[in-house]
Structure 1
Amino acid sequence: MTTVDVHAHVLLRDVEQAVAGRPELDAQRALDLRRNGAESTAVSGRMVGDRLARLTDVTVRLADMDAAGVDVQIVSPSPSHYHYWAEPELAGRVYRLANEGTAGHCAEAPGRLHGLGLVPLQHAGMAVQALDHALDLGLKGVEISSHAPGRELSDPALEPFWARAAERGAVLFLHPFGCTLDERLDRWYLSNIVGQPTENAVALSHLIFSGVLDRHPGLKIVAAHGGGYLPTHIGRADHGWHARPDTKGCAEPPSSYLRRLWFDSLVHDPGVLRHLVSVAGAGQVLLGSDHPFDMGSDDPLGDLRAAGLAPDDVDAIGGANAVALFSLKD
């Protein structure tokens, strides 16, 4: 079996150099500091510094993969590279540098590394050309956050982007960065521990309830962190859909859409992983590690096996599903 980790990141110096010195970047960092708190911001800075080689050096990445028993990684830019505050000219430079940098990183280990690029969600009119740029470089799709400032994933302005992604068979990796609950989560790293699964649930709910998945049934969307809180509380979404007329933006009960989405396995709990498989189906779950960040897992295969799933399900989640979804050679 080819083992595929679909959730791993690369840090791209060219992207950070492109935005350096911008006053908007300073404003964004001030907002992030307020949302995360000073203590968590400092801890995160040290953590990234300690893991810099694992985020940038292909030789180190491959050694990590070998140690974890991973044959192939799907590498996406660090979510810190979204820079959704950027105006159009700079946003265009950011996505081109991110796409080219990720493609170049993966080209150092052909067959073992495949990449995802970025699109500027804040400028919906640029999203299609950014997606095409990524795919034309040989990337498998793009990574997106749970929202952009002033724009939810249900925004009609994104309809051409969804249509193009479905048309070209691109994989869209939904990975939040930051949380809009702000200072309520500024201690104990709640901005990530609680914020990330919350953002996943909100973003997926926008996609489901707005009918995006009805209008674009060919979309290939992979939700990081097991889809956050939505799969474990999907019964509440179904109840609301049945009970209230204002929830009928989607054609079917929300739970039915979980089997049209894909989810990574990074849920940090064997019982939650079993539940995810039960509601989404083993065919919709993919191995994920969040390599090399501290909220990830250094042993994603061990975590998968700890869930006590059937051997066929372990094989599917461990790699077979990703081989099919990303059109890899097994």
Structure 2
Amino acid sequence: MCAGAGLGGCGDWHARGRLDAGGAAARLLLQNRYARTRARTRVETTRESGHDAQRSTHSHTHTHTHTHTHALCALRAAEEIGAAIFVHPWDMMGSNLMKDYFLPWLVGMPAETSLAICSMMFSGLFERYPRLRVCFAHGGGSFPGTLARVQHGFDVRPDLCAKDCTRSPVEQCGSFWTDSLVHDPHALRDIVRIFGEDKVCLGTDYPFPLGEYTAESRGKEYAAGALIDSMEWAAGQKEKLLGSNACAWLNRDIVDFWK
């Protein structure tokens, strides 16, 4: 996995003053032996400048995981310093088998994010670093749809799945955040049910074509927060997803972003 430190403040206030869980980030590459010192220094430097941290879900060596020593250094530093981490898929596994039909973005990215979540869960990272604040892109990718299978695997093969963790996948779902970019009201209800209404932040993927646009405009009319607005939820719950949840993840006061 490659990583970044430096999420732009609390993300960008996009159209209509909503808080995007994405934002800008400076990347950290963790696959070399100098990463321990560099990771902490980069996280400290960006944190001092008012930023937080971003990780991509793959390194260019294709051998890096969230349990790798260098990755642990960055995660430990982020927890100690209080920096938030945003995990976004990139350099997707199996891309060489998915040359057509936009499949690396449609299939590879969700799979990468699910791999990241499962790796962090099963390795015990959320138990080892309970103050770590991590948000996963795109509603957790394909993880919500396979959670029942992941939980079943944990139950029937603890010898393989529970070697390094004590809490089940379902129990760990409240240990991190996801963004809301799932493009469908049923999917949005599912991730709120799975992760909790306090753990889902507005995601936009602006300005990329898989971001939140109106379907009719085919990627030309940006519509940040439109899916959340369309839900038959109380105003207080919508406000959590539109702003306050992201601020809780980033440990920032929401009023700071109206200044």
- Indicate yes or no: 2:37 matched with 1:119: no
The sequence identity of aligned pairs, in percent, is 28
CA deviations 1:186-236 (Å, max 9, x no partner) are 111011011111100001111111111111011100100001011222111
2:175 partner letter: R
Write 1 or 2 for the structure with the bigger share of helix: 1
Runs of 4+ residues deviating >3 angstroms? 71-77
Structure 1 unaligned regions, length at least 5: 1-8, 11-60, 78-115
Instruction: Give the Cα–Cα distance (whole angstroms) in 2 for the partners of residues 299 and 251 of structure 1.
Output: 41
| Cross-structure match for 2:123 | 210
1:307 partner letter: M
Structure 1 residues 76 and 209 mapped into 2: Cα distance closer, same or farther (>3 Å)? Answer: same
| Cross-structure match for 1:250 | 165
Contact persistence 1:118–1:130 (CA under 8 A): no
- Indicate yes or no: 2:48 matched with 1:136: yes
SS at match of 2:85: strand
CA deviations 1:112-155 (Å, max 9, x no partner) are xxxx432222233222112112112221x111111222211121
| Structure whose alpha-carbon radius of gyration is higher | 1
Contact persistence 2:151–2:170 (CA under 8 A): yes
2:200 partner letter: V
| Cross-structure match for 2:114 | 201
Q: 1:70 aligns with which of 2, 13, 17?
A: 17
Give the 5 Å matches for 1:235-274.
Answer: 235-244=148-157, 245-248=159-162, 249-274=164-189
Structure 1 residues 329 and 270 mapped into 2: Cα distance closer, same or farther (>3 Å)? Answer: closer
| Cross-structure match for 1:156 | 69
CA deviations 1:267-318 (Å, max 9, x no partner) are 1111011000001100000001011111101213211122333332211111
Contact persistence 2:21–2:201 (CA under 8 A): no
**Displacement of 1:74:** 5.7
CA deviations 1:13-49 (Å, max 9, x no partner) are xxxxxxxxxxxxxxxxxxxxxxxxxxxxxxxxxxxxx
Q: 1:166 aligns with which of 79, 89, 97?
A: 79
| Cross-structure match for 1:30 | none
SS at match of 1:178: coil
**Displacement of 1:169:** 1.3
1:288 partner letter: G
Instruction: Give the Cα–Cα distance (whole angstroms) in 1 for the partners of residues 22 and 242 of structure 2.
Output: 16
1:228 partner letter: G
Instruction: Give the Cα–Cα distance (whole angstroms) in 1 for the partners of residues 139 and 92 of structure 2.
Output: 17
SS at match of 1:271: helix
Instruction: Give the Cα–Cα distance (whole angstroms) in 2 for the partners of residues 74 and 328 of structure 1.
Output: 14
| Cross-structure match for 2:218 | none
**Paired residue total:** 229
Q: 2:191 aligns with which of 271, 276, 279?
A: 276
Farther-moved stretch of structure 1 (210-219 vs 175-184): 175-184
Structure 2 unaligned regions, length at least 5: 1-6, 213-221
Q: 2:231 aligns with which of 300, 307, 325?
A: 307
1:322 partner letter: A
Give the 5 Å matches for 1:45-60.
Answer: none
Scaled by the length of structure 2, what TM-score is found?
0.82
**Aligned-residue CA RMSD in angstroms?**
2.0
Scaled by the length of structure 1, what TM-score is found?
0.65
